[in-house]
Structure 1
Amino acid sequence: MTLLEKVKANLILEHSEDDALLQNYITAATAYAEGYQHISSGWYVENAMSPTTELAVIMLSSHFYESRDGSTAGFFADNVQAGQQVWNTVNSLLRFDRRWNV
């Protein structure tokens, strides 16, 4: 299963009309992961993601998609802290694979 397919499954999204948009969000989330983990840009083009990093990228891509209009949408729509909760969770997941010896 591709990363795009995993993000769509996470979003319970069955159409393909937003695939290009989702791919942009996946690219942005992956770039964020690389920066947060202190690895070079494009690292995950050549190297596999750990399951933990992959989950963080899926979550962040999904958050970008659900919040694309500037609102807090999706599962946590009734929680004003939802955006911060997503970022805290993503950063916690990425911390597991962070490289401290840069």
Structure 2
Amino acid sequence: MTLLEKVKANLILEHSADDGLLQLYITAAVRYAESYQHLTENFYADNPMPPTTEQAVIMLSSHFYESRDGSTGGFFADNVQAGQQVWNTVNLLLRLDRDWKV
């Protein structure tokens, strides 16, 4: 299953009208993961992505999609801390696979 398919499953999205947009969000989330983890750009194009990093990418891509109108979006839209919680969770997941070089 591709990352696009996994993000669409996470969003419960069955149409393909937004596939191009989703792919842009996935690319941005992967680049964020690589940067946060101190990896070179396109690292995950040539190397397997650990499950924790993949989950972070899926969550962040979904958040970008659900928040594209500027709101927090998603299930927790009524919670003012929802957007920040997404980032906290994504960063915690990415930290597990981070290259801690100084």
Specify the TM-score bucket, using the shorter chain as the normaliser: over 0.9
Question: 2:40 aligned with 1:32, yes or no?
Answer: no
Post-superposition Cα deviations, 1:42-99, rounded to whole Å, max 9, x if no partner, equal 0011111000000000000000000001011111111010000000000000000000
Q: Secondary structure at the match of 1:76?
A: coil
Structure 2 unaligned spans of 5+: none
CA distance in 2, matches of 1:96, 1:62: 20
* Percentage identity across paired residues of the two chains: 79
- Aligned partner of residue 52 in structure 1, secondary structure: helix
What's the RMSD between the two structures over aligned residues?
A: 0.6
Matches within 5 A, 1:1-102: 1-101=1-101
1:27-49 alpha-carbon deviations (Å, 9 max, x no partner): 00000000000000000111110
Structure 1: gaps of 5 or more residues:
none
Q: Give the distance between the partners of 1:18 and 1:48, measured in 2 at CA.
A: 26
Matched residues in 2 for 1:62 and 1:54: separation? Answer: 12
TM-score by length of 2: 0.98
How many pairs does the alignment contain? 102
Which residue identity lines up with residue 74 of structure 2 in the other structure? G
Mean alpha-carbon deviation: is it higher for 52-61 or for 72-81? Answer: 72-81
CA distance, structure 2, for counterparts of residue 31 and residue 62 of structure 1: 15
- Distance across 2 between alignment mates of 1:21 and 1:78: 25
- C-alpha separation between the residues in 2 aligned to 1:35 and 1:25? 15
